[in-house]
Amino acid sequence: MFKKILIANRGEIAIRVHRACCELGVPTVAIFSEADRAALHVRVCDEAYCVGPAPSRQSYLNIDRILEVAKLTGADAIHPGYGFLSENAEFAERCAALGITFIGPNTKAIRVMGNKTTSRVAVAEMNVPLVPGMKENLRDEAHAMEWAERIGLPLMMKAAAGGGGKGMRMVTRLQDVPAAFRAAQSEGLSFFGDGSVYLERYVESPRHIEIQVLGDKHGNIIYFPERECSIQRRHQKVIEEAPSTIVDEAMRRAMGEAAVKAARSVGYDSAGTVEFIVSGKSREFFFLEMNTRLQVEHPITEMITGVDLCKEMIKSAAGDPLPFTQGDITLSGHAIECRIYAEDPDNNFLPTPGKIVGLRVPGGPWVRDESGMYEGLDVPIHYDPMLSKLVVWGSTRERAISRMLRALGEYAVKGIKTTIPFHARVIGSEAFAQGDFDTHYIDNHFRPADAARPMPHEDIALIAAAIQAFRRDKDRAQHLMGGQPNGQEHSAWKSSGRVRR
């Protein structure tokens, strides 16, 4: 095992990795930007070093400085978490050059899978099904038109280096092909520095279903039961569950075996995820991309299999062979994850940075909170707005749903608005209960209905506001007369630390 692990990340995933290291008995080194001195990962890790100013490029992406800290502290391995440097092949190589283990797959796997075109070529050679489309990039608008006619409508125009919903254009009419080509090219260039673009068939009632794989340095690769990630808002996953309501045992095995083949195509030797797009109509599945890192939603797989993926990933990087075979992986019950964001769901999901002045996290049976929050934390404006992931397990999907609703109801974050109540409404919706949704569900169906929902507790809200106004006025009056404020320790009109507009 490693002597010391540097965690090149922040937020909840830095905490997750620290917990795994802690349980393995390996000391940890945190890095932080100047905006994150008060962050929880700085406080819980064994060591902590500032690596630069607030902007990520100067801190969490500052390879030179991070490697300096690794050398200084004697860390012999680096866990990159997700995002930031986690899929950066150059970083992995520079770690290797210094004799530091990058906790992730081999660099070839990162490079090949990091590009949509090369990854498609690689997995196609292993007979992993692809969305009908092209394996090369488009040369120009004319070429685009030619391929569009060959594949047939509806189509997706995609930037080869794209991801996270950026650099994608749906095309339903042939005459829109040239404009979509130009748009995808320019977004690819501006977001990813790469203008390569290709075309593929658009899958109807699309569901995003992915397979976790785990490999070691001895050639073993196994797969886990699928994760259903179709509840998305603007192409960003919002709620994930495992298993999927539309996958049966035979399909699970077929998808798992395809994922292992995809992983084998690059000699995969770590934790990774093979993403598929699945037609909700035909249940055909097609390779989308492979993420060569620990995924945000890995905990739901952990909950239904009892496997600590973060820990196994570290052990595998240390050279340990996998401690189980495919046959040892069994599926038990059902797990759901909600990504809690610092966003206002009733105000177009505007980010809500600010100070958390009160916090009560849900607890009790089979509730797992993966969080970087604490009472007093000032959520900075510089980074991703994800505050925590709430994960539950239940013996059945129905029980997992009722447990998630219960846990969301317990989760109290005071000072900033979060997406917690939004999650409760999605999870409580009829379509979710039926498992009847695709990746367009939130944007096209749920949100319009949600905006018009009734607000049943208006009377109580008015009473609460009026009593606080009364108490404020009484305090003021007593203050003017030189008296003492009323019995409560804090008077009601004091700011809760947040300026309201």
Residues acting as catalytic residues: 293
CB within 8 Å of 236: residues ≥ 6 apart: 164, 165
Using CB under 8 A as the binding rule, whether residue 37 contacts other proteins is answered as yes
Using CB under 8 A as the binding rule, whether residue 483 contacts other proteins is answered as no
- Between residues 184 and 377, which has the closer beta carbon with respect to its own copies? 377
Helix 63-73 with 89-97: angle, nearest 10 deg: 30
State which of residues 179, 462, 479, 483 lies at the interface with other proteins (CB under 8 A): 462
What is the 3 state secondary structure string of 422-490?
HHHHHHCCHHHHHCCCCCCHHHHHHHHHHHCCCCCCHHHHHHHHHHHHHHHHHHHHHHHCCCCCCCCCC
Task: Give the interface segment with other proteins, choosing from 86-94, 178-186, 312-320, 369-377 (CB under 8 A).
Answer: 369-377
Q: Are 306 and 332 in contact, with CB atoms under 8 Å apart?
A: yes
Q: Is the peptide bond before 154 cis (omega within 30 degrees of 0)?
A: yes
Cα separation of 204 and 286, whole Å? Answer: 12
Structure tokens at 343: 């966003």
Q: How far is the CB of 45 from other proteins (least distance, A)?
A: 6
Q: How far is the CB of 495 from its own copies (least distance, A)?
A: 12
Q: Which does 25 bind (CB under 5 to 8 A by kind): other proteins, its own copies, none?
A: its own copies
Distances (CA, A) of 247 to 130, 132, 198, 208, 244: 18, 21, 29, 12, 6
State which of residues 323, 358, 363, 483 lies at the interface with other proteins (CB under 8 A): 358
Q: How far is the CB of 360 from its own copies (least distance, A)?
A: 6
- Between residues 155 and 413, which has the closer beta carbon with respect to its own copies? 413
Interface residue list for its own copies (CB under 8 A): 15-16, 19, 22-25, 44, 299, 302, 306-308, 310, 332-333, 358-361, 363-371, 374-375, 395, 399, 402-403, 405-406, 409-410
Q: Which does 430 bind (CB under 5 to 8 A by kind): other proteins, its own copies, none?
A: none
Residue 124 CB coordination number (10 Å): 15
Interacting residues with other proteins between 379 and 438 (CB under 8 A): 381-385, 408-409, 412, 414, 417, 420-421, 424-425
Residue 49 CB coordination number (10 Å): 18
Closest by Cα among 353, 330, 169, 346 to 256: 330
Using CB under 8 A as the binding rule, whether residue 347 contacts other proteins is answered as yes
Q: How far is the CB of 348 from other proteins (least distance, A)?
A: 8
Q: Which does 5 bind (CB under 5 to 8 A by kind): its own copies, other proteins, none?
A: none
